[in-house]
Structure 1
Amino acid sequence: MTPILSLWTQPEPAKKSAPKCLSQRVLVVEDELLLGEIAAETLTDAGYEVFTAASAEEAEVMLRDMSVDLLFTDVDLGGQNGFELAQTALSLQPLLSIVFTSGRSRICYGMCRPLKVPFLAKPYRLADLVETVERALRATTTQ
């Protein structure tokens, strides 16, 4: 007789091996703390080393002290906006990839498209977040 396993007694599924992006570092800048934590956790699960900041000013301090491969930032951050943060970030780290996100998708997408900078409209699916980050990092490494 085969025992019936409940959800609590079933073995955990095998974790996926971390992708090759393990050494890639992402800075998530989001003033909505819960959204920032969810994005950070998703990217960590995808194998990235992730740091978070709740404002552009906090992100600038971090960018002066450490190197990152990608900046994932909300456009509307309260004080300084994501576009201004991106300019400062690129002056500090010229090879940095950038992905913008915002709930004001029509306006922000229109601003990002001519710059050829990826834009992820809120609300976004977590799989789309990982795919957009991967695509942005691949584009940078192939240039």
Structure 2
Amino acid sequence: MNIHMRVTVLDQSARVLLVEDDPEIANMVIETLLDNGFNAVATGSAVEMEVLLREQSFDLIILDVMLPGEDGFSICRRLRAQATTPIIMLTALSDDIDRIVGLELGADDYITKPFNSRELLARIKSLLRRSSYTSASPQTQDPLQFEGWRIDPILRRVRDPNGVHISMTTAEFDVLLAFCRNPGKVLTREQLLSLTHAGAAGPVERSIDVHVSRVRQKIEPNVREPSLIKTVRLAGYLFTPKVERV
């Protein structure tokens, strides 16, 4: 099935790749993106997506779950193993477990069909803002360190005590940064959603638990007995290390 494809070249505009096999939805999303100043291109399968990714780079990928051939979950897992490009999943599945699976595989956000184009735009802008596509306030961008770890908000890089770069999704980085900027404070799930989604509509509250779990897997000495990110029963999470500006 061929999908109408349009690309526009605008200076300083974000490049968005949509992988969606429904022509009506694809055309609607692409038109919305173009009308709002984005560079946008649509393709209908993993095979066609790979061709585009070899030819050009993208700032964000919108990925449908139900695709011919390789499904969106599998594609998401593979993409996340290769890069940290923000990923939004499009799903017609209403069950929370399906959406949580996407987040666990490395997606940064999801939106359920049918969706409002304004909501999709809000989530795209939020993710791009969080991934430093646009400049952030300089006073909040000092590098921070804890327990030998270093997190750089401008470069959006995390290095372990041995200086090794640790790959994180946009959402994982934002969760860790929120903790580092609020050490010794109990943060509720609602506060974490607010701190990591810049006020835009975000995933369900439960998704925060998924992202926290993934951050723990990457920074905790013992994931089974977390010492850096403590769960505070009926309250939220507490980041225990002393954090210093570099």
The aligned length equals 123
Aligned equivalent of 1:95: 84
Aligned equivalent of 1:11: none
Give CA-to-partner distance per residue, 1:64-118, whole Å, 9 cap, x none.
11100000010110210112222333455x2311000111132432213444620
Aligned equivalent of 2:44: 54
Matches within 5 A, 1:9-48: 22-48=12-38
Per the alignment, do residues 81 and 26 of structure 1 end up closer, same or farther by CA in structure 2, a change over 3 Å counting?
Answer: same
Aligned equivalent of 1:70: 60
AA aligned opposite 1:86: C
Once the two structures are TM-superposed, the CA of residue 43 in structure 1 deviates from its matched residue by: 1.0
For residue 94 of structure 2, the aligned residue among 105, 108, 112 is 105
1 CA distance for matches of 2:58 and 2:50? 12
Give CA-to-partner distance per residue, 1:26-75, whole Å, 9 cap, x none.
00110111101101111111111001101111111111111000000101
Matches within 5 A, 1:131-142: 131-141=122-132
1 CA distance for matches of 2:77 and 2:49? 12
> Which 5+ residue runs of structure 1 have no aligned equivalent?
1-19
Aligned equivalent of 1:85: 75
Question: 1:69, 1:95 within 8 Å by CA — same for their partners in 2?
Answer: no
Aligned equivalent of 1:12: none
Normalised by the size of structure 1, how large is the TM-score? 0.76
Per the alignment, do residues 113 and 90 of structure 1 end up closer, same or farther by CA in structure 2, a change over 3 Å counting?
Answer: closer
> Which 5+ residue runs of structure 2 have no aligned equivalent?
1-9, 133-152, 157-246
Question: 1:102, 1:120 within 8 Å by CA — same for their partners in 2?
Answer: yes
Question: 1:21, 1:47 within 8 Å by CA — same for their partners in 2?
Answer: no
Secondary structure in structure 1 of the residue aligned to 2:122: helix
Normalised by the size of structure 2, how large is the TM-score? 0.46
2 CA distance for matches of 1:137 and 1:108? 24
Bigger relative contact order (CA 8 A; separation at least 6): 1
Question: 1:26, 1:49 within 8 Å by CA — same for their partners in 2?
Answer: yes
Higher helix share: 1
Per the alignment, do residues 21 and 70 of structure 1 end up closer, same or farther by CA in structure 2, a change over 3 Å counting?
Answer: farther
Identity %: 29
For residue 120 of structure 2, the aligned residue among 112, 120, 129 is 129
State the superposition RMSD in angstroms. Answer: 2.1
Q: Establish whether residue 120 from structure 1 lines up as the match of residue 111 from structure 2.
A: yes
**Farther off after superposition, 103-112 or 26-35:** 103-112
